[in-house]
Structure 1
């Protein structure tokens, strides 16, 4: 497939990369499950693997369906662009950096706003870390508002097809940080998001929670005070476990909990908005006094 075809149809990029993803999974499975050279939390369990694959398929389907509407919105907004940005080598590099900056804020918001966390928690709910964890995505991202974070790029003047392509390329590159097979990448750790940095992000150890939001570049975390190095062994998962391999339950548990709480009688509008939009750890309704 030619690059021009990918730009015209960016939604197929992850499918094009799928054979490479599969090879990485097979290699990691061989190291961990057959050679037993990786921790138990890196092993492949059939129920979870099937759950992760189902979640990936549901996510991809939702993206294709909502992508048509988002594409129309981006094209409409593109008519109001501030600049006409040529997509040569420099333009592509600028877009990669700008998109990664936007991704950092999307990712940070997904941990600090419960409405967005309800979608993103799917990705964090596994208590294991291997390449298949990268497939553990939510079909609810369009509802959560992920697409809003790329609008500034379109308004600046980046072509919408290129924006979507770079968003998906960024996500594709993040597949490679979901592993315990790579301990350190040396000097690259200073600039780029690496498996070590991203293992921290998936940890529920107190010092690791809400750290290392990076997509491709770790520099944003270092600039904005959310960087944490991997020191203590990472304990994976979330502080409110889902305890299920049912992809439907994994997808909707937090949404149901959130709407159940926001529908309680006797709450003020302020408390209801807090349940929806406060950080997850502070979003519960007030307890009744004895």
Structure 2
């Protein structure tokens, strides 16, 4: 059901991409890489297919947590959706922050950060190996709290859908909305490879947890942003892009001489 829900937004996304492309080409204020956008599309198609096929894995883990739930939260209550939303945002923040600080999770998430041109097509460059990284573990506490797995999965899908529009350089700062919501300005900072911007602005829909936990950074008007990985990836093959960080990780594991070095390669910070 969640894939049907999100797939209904695809025509809107396609129209937005076409409008962005026309504006970029008309104003010539940034470079639009067709190759990179096509690579992102290829990566997304495999991502979407694998997520649809293996949905039973995250759904099963959420169901397992729900069977041992502390409460049974009635979805129809007026406070249920706000509580679910805040819970998702809190767990998403910590998942996203951990994905930048533990290499095992970064191996999946690095795919999304490999784009060097920031536009709407970057939004759907998503790693294929979230099941291997164990991303869903961060959201199991929500079902353990008492929310049905279906509600959690749909909520996560909508969070991901929201983030489509924040992948652009064309939308400027949005005034008071910048204090509460994750906006294109905040997300440009998140994707930047500039040293002062690295590991900032992890929020999904909201930016409040970044402000609370000290990971917020504001976009500076006098500082041009360099996008991409700190070790730029020049590959144009979707399979190479999607698996490059896993390749680096396993090479370091096999090259390690002690178990301490192996564990550091897996659970240490990205290199």
Identify the TM-score tier after normalising by the shorter chain: over 0.9
- In structure 1, distance between residues paired with 2:97 and 2:70: 27
- 2:223 is the counterpart of 1:235: no
2:243 corresponds to which of 252, 255, 267: 252
Q: Which runs of 4+ in 1 moved over 4 A?
A: none
- 2:54 is the counterpart of 1:63: no
- In structure 2, distance between residues paired with 1:125 and 1:49: 12
- 2:27 is the counterpart of 1:27: no
Once the 2 structures are TM-superposed, how far is the Cα of residue 49 of structure 1 from its aligned partner? 1.5
2:74 equivalent in structure 1: 86
1:286 equivalent in structure 2: none
TM-score, L = length of structure 2: 0.96
8 Å contact from structure 1 (residues 205, 235) kept in 2 = yes
Structure 2, unaligned runs of 5 or more: none
Once the 2 structures are TM-superposed, how far is the Cα of residue 233 of structure 1 from its aligned partner? 1.7
8 Å contact from structure 1 (residues 38, 180) kept in 2 = no
Q: Deviations over 1:128-161 (max 9, x none)?
A: 1000000100111111111111100000000110
2:208 corresponds to which of 209, 219, 222: 219
1:268 equivalent in structure 2: 258
Q: Deviations over 1:83-124 (max 9, x none)?
A: 111113421111111101100011001100001111101000
- In structure 1, distance between residues paired with 2:36 and 2:28: 20
1:12 corresponds to which of 4, 7, 10: 4
8 Å contact from structure 2 (residues 118, 167) kept in 1 = yes
8 Å contact from structure 2 (residues 61, 140) kept in 1 = no
- 2:128 is the counterpart of 1:156: no
For these two proteins, the number of residue pairs brought into alignment is: 268
1:109 equivalent in structure 2: 98
Q: Deviations over 1:17-48 (max 9, x none)?
A: 11111111111111002x125422xx2x2211
Structure 1, unaligned runs of 5 or more: 1-8, 282-290
Once the 2 structures are TM-superposed, how far is the Cα of residue 13 of structure 1 from its aligned partner? 2.3
Once the 2 structures are TM-superposed, how far is the Cα of residue 11 of structure 1 from its aligned partner? 2.3
Q: Deviations over 1:188-209 (max 9, x none)?
A: 0001000000000000000000
Q: Secondary structure at the match of 2:55?
A: helix
8 Å contact from structure 2 (residues 159, 204) kept in 1 = yes
Task: Evaluate the alpha carbon distance shift between residue 270 and residue 194 of structure 1 in structure 2; reply closer, same or farther with a 3 A threshold.
Answer: same
- In structure 2, distance between residues paired with 1:82 and 1:164: 19
- In structure 2, distance between residues paired with 1:73 and 1:221: 28
2:181 equivalent in structure 1: 192
